[in-house]
Amino acid sequence: MKKKIILGIDPGYGRTGYGVIDAQGQKLTCLDYGVIETSAREKFKDRLNHLHQDLKKIIKKYNPEIVAIEDLFFFKNAKTAMKVGQARGVIILTAVQAKKEVVEFTPLQVKQAIAGYGRAEKAQMQKMVKVLLGLKELPKPDDAADALAIAICAASTLRLREFV
């Protein structure tokens, strides 16, 4: 079975989580995870540029075949949703410019793929990510753990597509 590097992204404009995994059949290996943070003191356009530049570096370093990103699902605050939507646009454009396949998943799809339950709590998700990737400790912060979960969801989806 072909080895695939997958970059999972939990989008945001203040903090964007990323997780890089190596998926080879059923075997998943964590290569890296963390967050891209921008300062609230920066102008919004500069925050988006910061996100773009840092994401380009991550893509260049790991050269993923696939960039998996969480889709916007529900926000109570419309202003926040618009800004996160703009950050998602920057993330997608950065991946497309790097000629990467982009796949998107809702939070429900990610939770079902990882925990088998669409309403799984954050703590349960972190524990499952730790187990699935064989990590020594829970991945933190939450944004990075979510990004790893998104990458694992993409790997699961790819395995299913290969059987069809």
Catalytic entry in 32, 70, 137, 146 = 70
Return mean pLDDT, the chain: 92
CATH of the domain at 97: 3.30.420.10
Per-residue pLDDT, averaged over 35-63, amounts to 97
Half-sphere exposure of 97 (CA within 13 A, CB side): 13
Reported as a pLDDT band with limits 50, 70 and 90, residue 75 is low
DSSP-derived secondary structure for 98-136: TT-EEEEE-HHHHHHHHHS-TT--HHHHHHHHHHHHT-S
Active-site annotation holds for 10: yes
Catalytic entry in 42, 46, 142, 143 = 143
Catalytic entry in 10, 22, 54, 146 = 10
Model pLDDT, residue 93: 98
This prediction's pTM: 0.93
User: pLDDT tens digits, residue range 101-148?
Assistant: 999 999 999 999 999 888 889 899 999 999 999 999 999 999 999 999
Total tally of structural domains belonging to the chain? 1
Range of the domain at 136: 3-163
Distance CA(40)–CA(18), nearest Å, equals 20
Active-site annotation holds for 143: yes
Model pLDDT, residue 161: 58
Active-site annotation holds for 71: no
Model pLDDT, residue 119: 84
Angle CA(118)–CA(113)–CA(151) in degrees, nearest 5? Answer: 120
